[in-house]
Every structure is written in C-alpha cells, then in structure tokens.
Structure 1
Amino acid sequence: MPEPRIDDFEDMFENSPCGYITLETNGRIAGVNKTLLRWIGRTADEMTGKRFSDFLNMAGRIFYETHIAPLLRMQGFFNEFAIDMVTATGEPMQMICNALEGRDAAGKPLFTRLALLKATDRRRYEQELLSAREAAKTSLASERETSELREQFIAVLGHDLRNPLASISAGVRILGRDAKTEKAHQVVAMLQTTVMRMAELIDNVLDFARGRLGGGITLDRNARKPLEPVLHQVIDELRLSSPGRQIEAEYAIDSPVDCDRTRIGQLVSNLVGNAISHGTASQPVRVRAETEEGLFKFSVANGGEPIPQAAMEKLFEPFFRGEVRASRQGLGLGLHIASQIAKAHDGVLTVTSTPEETKFTFVMPLR
C-alpha cells in the first residue's frame, strides 16, 4: 500500500477527517468520500445517483427540502445546519453540515458540495444544556412561587397579629390605671415592654414583606412637625424596656427635617435596640442627633467587641442576626429595615467598628 503524500488531493478528499458529498443540480449524489461511507456503513454504489435527502431521517428530509435547498438556491451557501443521516443499520447519526453551491459566470448552479462532521457529542451536550436550562427555569419559577407565598403569608400574619396586640395593649393600659401596689406596677411595666417589642417585630415583618412584594417602604413626609419629640419618646421607651442599660442622648436639631417621623423613630428604635443587644453592658449606648450643613445626622455608638469583617458584609441583609444575647431575641430584620428606611429618605446608613466602639451613622438631606 503506497504511503500517502502531502500533495495527494485525491487522498485528502477520500480520507479527510470529515465527510464530503457532491450533489448534482437535481439533488442527486455524484460523489461521496470514504470517510462518510465508513461512518454510515454504506458503499459508494449504494449512494451514488440517489437523492441526498433519501439518506436523512424524516425530520431531516423535511427540513432539507423546505429550508436548506431553497436557501441554498437563494444565497449559494448554508453553514452549520444540523441533520441526522440514516446509517446502514437504520440508526440516526447526528451531524453538522456546511453546503456551498458551485456556479458558472452567469450565476447558474452547477453542483453543490457538502462537508459533514459528526456531532453526536456536540448534540448531546447541547441537549444537556437545554435540559439544564429548562430545569433551572422550572426550579427558579418554583422558588419564586414559594418565596411569594411565604412573603404573602408573613404579610397576612403580621396584619392578623396587630388586632389582638392592640387589644392586649389596651388591656394593659387599663390595668395600669387600676394598679395599687408596686408589684402590680412592675408587672404592668413588663407587659407594656413586651407589647412594645411585639409591635416592633410585627412592624419589621410587615415592612420586609412589603419590600419583597414590591410595595417598598412608604413615607409620609412632614417638615413642619418637629422630629426631636419623637426621638425623645423612642429613647424613653427603650430605657424603660432595658432598665439595666444606660443610654446617653444628645440632640442638636436646629433646622426642620423633611422626613417621615414615624419611620425615623422606627430606624432609631432598631439601631439603638441593636446597640443594646450587641454592646457591652458596662458601657453606655451613646446617641446623637443633629442638623448640620443641610443634613440630618443620627448616630448610635456602643462599646464591646468589634464586628468581624465577615459579619460586616452581611449586617444589612434580612434575617442576619450575628451573635445576640438570649435576653433579646429577634428576627434579624432590624438593621435591614433601618437601611431601607434610610434609602427611602435618600439617605445612607453606614457602620464603623473598632476595638473602642461600634458606630452606626444615618445621614439624609434636610429637604
């Protein structure tokens, strides 16, 4: 058997690493190389003179006759179309085909050349990708549905809890008016603190649910009403609910603040409550509110261990609680809701943490 030569073009055609077919203008096979014959287990005599479409499966035959052949006639070529040729055993062999028409000077078709590559692995990979994409779509849709149902449930639950809580709060106020002994006053104070804490949790849950369901944090801005009385009230309530902790508050609000006072009170409650939960009990929580250079600034600082860097990156994510003492349980929504309130006011909430202190700072424009 003679050795193949680099300039042997007949050998290059017959034993090329891809299949070749030459078609007459009527679509019948004029020539086919040995590579393709080996792949599909057929002979040249078996294929020569037959229509190329005769060796395609039914889907490939329809696609070739209705799409490939007309487009070839229009533009003279067609690249990377997928077909399934039928082997001698009747099995489909998946291939990728390029087609090119040979034409004379007047543009009249003379023949068509086809180059074919096995595409079994490629088609399998493509099918796996399609299947994976469909599975991902299905999984994502299921997760979204589950998430929406969960958040709708949270919203409904929050609303349903408010009514009985309001009744409990009213009952506690009545008991407070009738309390005769010091012990009774202590019990009433404890109940009031618990009701306040429950109301705070419900507000956070409802705000979170609104945000996830597309409602967002709603604001009722009013620059005419002073903000400082709201801050006093919130700090006093927190002092009442945490009698063992010292809260130092300093106010220098000299200009009107165009804000939702209730929302700012909620932000302050969440930030100071967080400082009480995580700060060392031997050092006071320091609060400062001021207006300066067209800005309203509010800061809360506490002593204790610095926040780890890994936790710093997740502080404002929902349901992140870090390490909190058992005496003050929560859902991990306080800082997240505070950050959303800050954004709703076109402001920003930041945090710094050193061995000396951890400090949260909220800054927003006055108008």
Structure 2
Amino acid sequence: MTSAPPPPPQILSDVSIGPDVAAVGRIEAIKSVLRVLTQTTGLRLAVVARVTAEAWTCCAVLDEMNFGLKAGDTLEITTTFCNTVRSTLAPLLVTHASQDPRFRDHPAPRMYGVESYIAVPLYRKDGTYFGVMCALDANPAALSEDKLEIFRHLGDLVGHQLEQEDALNERDARLLGAHEASLLREQLIGIVSHDLRNPLNAISLAAATMMRLEELDERSRRGLRRILDASDRAHRLIRDLLDFTHVRTGMPLPINPQAADLHQLIRQVVDEVQLTAPERELDVVHAGDARGTWDPDRIAQVLTNLLANAMQYSPSDSPIRVEARGEAQKVVLSVSNVGEPIPVGLLPTLFKPMTRGTTTVTERRSVGLGLFIVEQVARAHGGQVEVVSTAEAGTTFRVHLPRDA
C-alpha cells in the first residue's frame, strides 16, 4: 500500500556554500547520474547534497514525488539521515525507517515521512569530504546491498568531476583577475595620458612664446629649449600610451592613408630630431622611388621612435644611419646604429609592450612602448618590422611598407 506524500520540508537558507551548489550544477552528467539512481533503486527522489556539521544543502535533485526540494535549499542537518553518513563516513541503507530500531525515533521519518534511504559519502578527488549522494522515498523499499556498489562508482564519478570544477573555477578566477587588472591598468593609462595633454600644451605654448622674445640671453634660451624638448618627448610618450591603450582594448590602430613621399618625410623628421639632439650625427640615405600611400603622421611616429631607440642604445659619439629604399612593391625604411647588440634571448619579445632591448640598467629609462608602437603601425599599413643585431654590424631595424596601405 502506498503511503501519503510526506509533509513539506522546513527549508532554510545558507548562501555561504553557493559556489559548491553551482559547481555541482555545472557537472553535465549530474542529471543522468540521478536518473540512474532512481531507476536502479526504484526510489523517487535522488539528491547530491553538500553536508557540513551545520547544514544539509541540496546541490542537485531529481524529484518524482513532489518533495519540494530545489538546488540551494538547506535543511537542519540533524533532521536528515545524511547526518549519519557524515558522522560515520560510511554508506547507509534503510529499507523501512519507522520499523528500523536504529531510526524509528529519527526525525527524518517523523518530519519528512522518509521510509527508504540509500546513500554514499562524496569526496573530492583530493580526499576532502564534500557531502552525500542519496536516494529516498516515502515508501518502504526492498533495497539490497549490491545497490551500494553502484552508488559508490557513481559517487566516485561525481567526486572526480567536482575536483575538475574546482580546478576550472580557480583557473578562471586567476584569468579573470589578471584580465580585469590588465584592463584597469590600460584604461588608467589612457585616462592619465589624455588628461596630461592639456597642461603639456600650455607648457609648450608658454615656452615657445617666450623663445620669440628678443631680449632673452643665451642661458635663458637654452633653458627654454630644454623645456620644449622635454615637452616634445612627453607628447610622444603620451601618444604611444594612448595608442597602446587603443590596441590593447581590442581596437585597430587608426591610420589615415594619403599620398606621400617617404624621402621627403624622412628628411623632415630627421631635421626635427636633429634640433633636439644637435650633438648626434644622423646620416640620411635615399635610394629608389619612395612614393606611396601611407599615413604620414604614423610613419613619422615610427621613425621618431626608432631614432629615439637608436640614440638610447648607442654611444653618443657614434653615427645613426636612416635609409629609405624603394623597391617594386614596397619601400623599406631602416634605422641603424652601432653599439652593444641586443641579447638573443630578448629578440622574441622585443616588440611586446613594456619590454626593453637590453638587460643592462641605465639612467635613461623608458616605458618600453616605442618598438611595440612601431610594429603596430607597420601592421596597420599591411607591413612588418624586422631587426638584425650583431656585435660586428650593430643593430638595424627595417620597416617594410607596401606602397598602397
């Protein structure tokens, strides 16, 4: 004779183990496992529960007898048979609780009407106790011990999957934390760089205006020139930082292609750089037709960064060679300097942001974005950058630029 449905459980709440509930819920096979349990035993309710000394929490459930449980619901641990499994760390089989001397006074049959019950303890792969996998019913059931073997195997499967979920969650948390930190850093760089432009523009304008005064002595002019030079370097750095933020937030580097002659553009940029570094020898070599379609401002940015890099890593009394060589389908822009070669171990990461071409600590420090921007500009034009660095020949950066960007 079938007994009446059990009274509704007294459901509590415990949000502290929400991640455990979510982890079980993400196990793709969990519904199939619970289905196997009900079909194997004939019991109508199968549950994976997180069990602690304080509470019993449903993580996954297959309910065919309208018991009223859902994932996340929590019961008083002392009112459940699962408390016995937790305390003994052993499987448990109950066929008729109200007539079993061990459990006829237990709260489970009185409060929930549970008469039949079978369960095994659940462990994570590392041996940590997690809870219980069980099946139960309001009716007595003729359950044999061999059913426990099936429960054990399925329990091992669930425990292994829990360990996998824990590992994935930990990895995802690390990746998310690193991504958020990186994104925040890049956004901060963009904001700070953008906000620095206004005061720098004011400094540059004031210094340029004072330079026009006829009554300035030579010492004052040199001081103003240093202010303008520092302001120009800061402007270049800000542009590199803004470009870096642009690229790293997933947007392509913007370019504005137009007809240009690379020979003329190089001469103009070299002359401007020479004004800020009159002590350096900058040699310019032209070869072939250097006309094409590029963004002149971006190409000037590339050359400025390469020249700054060459001056930083070469002796102050050594020449720097700039060459533009026209070929059939492209123009090759190269900047060469003598000095200590780039270590072979640094070459694979040379164009990555925040890296430097030497392991030597120097007083002239840089953010490490110059070569990164050079490569990004080349890519935006459909080109590429290569570097050759030896003790005998020095270091040469070559930017290959297709004539039609």
**TM exceeding 0.5:** yes
2:327 alignment partner, one of 292, 295, 304: 292
Specify whether residues 209 and 55 from structure 1 end up closer, same or farther in structure 2 by C-alpha distance, changes over 3 A only.
Answer: closer
| TM-score, scaled to structure 1 | 0.69
Structure 1 counterpart SS, 2:303: helix
1:63 is displaced (CA, Å) by 3.9
Indicate whether 1:359 and 2:359 are aligned: no
Is the 1:280–1:304 contact (alpha carbons within 8 Å) kept by the matching residues of 2?
A: yes
Partner of 1:328: 364
Q: State whether structure 2 residue 251 is matched by structure 1 residue 215.
A: yes
Q: 2:238 aligns with which of 202, 205, 228?
A: 202
Q: 2:307 aligns with which of 235, 250, 272?
A: 272
Q: 2:318 aligns with which of 273, 283, 300?
A: 283
After TM superposition, give the deviation of residue 198 of structure 1 in Å: 0.5
Deviations 1:139-171 (A, max 9, x none): 323332222222122111111111111111111
CA distance in 2, matches of 1:195, 1:233: 19
Q: Secondary structure of the residue that 2:318 maps to in structure 1? A: coil
How many pairs does the alignment contain? Answer: 286
Q: Secondary structure at the match of 1:178?
A: coil
**Corresponding residue of 2:120:** 92
Rg larger for: 1
C-alpha contact (below 8 Å) 1:155/1:206 kept by paired residues: yes
Task: Say whether 1:155 aligns with 2:190.
Answer: yes
Higher mean Cα deviation, 350-359 or 179-188? 179-188
How far is the alpha carbon of 1:250 from its aligned partner?
A: 1.3
Unaligned runs of 5+ in 1: 1-26, 30-50, 67-83, 96-112
User: Cα distance, 1:121 vs. partner?
Assistant: 4.8
Distance 1:234 1:329, change over 3 A: farther
Separation in structure 2 between the aligned mates of residue 184 and residue 161 of structure 1, nearest angstrom? 25
TM-aligned CA deviation for residue 279 of structure 1: 1.8
- Residue 223 of structure 2 aligns to which amino acid in structure 1? V
Give the TM-score normalised by structure 2.
0.63
C-alpha distance 53-209 of structure 1, shift in aligned 2 (>3 A): same
Q: Measure, in 2, the Cα distance between the counterparts of 1:316 and 1:130.
A: 37
Partner SS state of residue 258, structure 1:
strand
Of 340, 365, 382, 1:346 maps to 382
SS for the counterpart of 1:230 is helix
1: CA distance, partners of 2:345 / 2:160: 39
Identity of aligned residues (%): 31
Greater Cα shift, 196-205 or 180-189: 180-189
Q: Tell me, what secondary structure is at the counterpart of 1:290?
A: strand
Structure 1 segment 132-171 matched on structure 2, within 5 A: 132-171=167-206
Distance 1:354 1:288 in 2: 19
In the TM superposition, 1:104-143 aligns within 5 A as: 116=150, 118=153, 120-143=155-178
SS of the residue corresponding to residue 243 of structure 1 reads coil
Equivalents in 2 of 1:139, 1:86: separation in Å?
39
RMSD over aligned CA atoms reads: 3.2
Aligned-pair CA distance for 1:281: 2.9
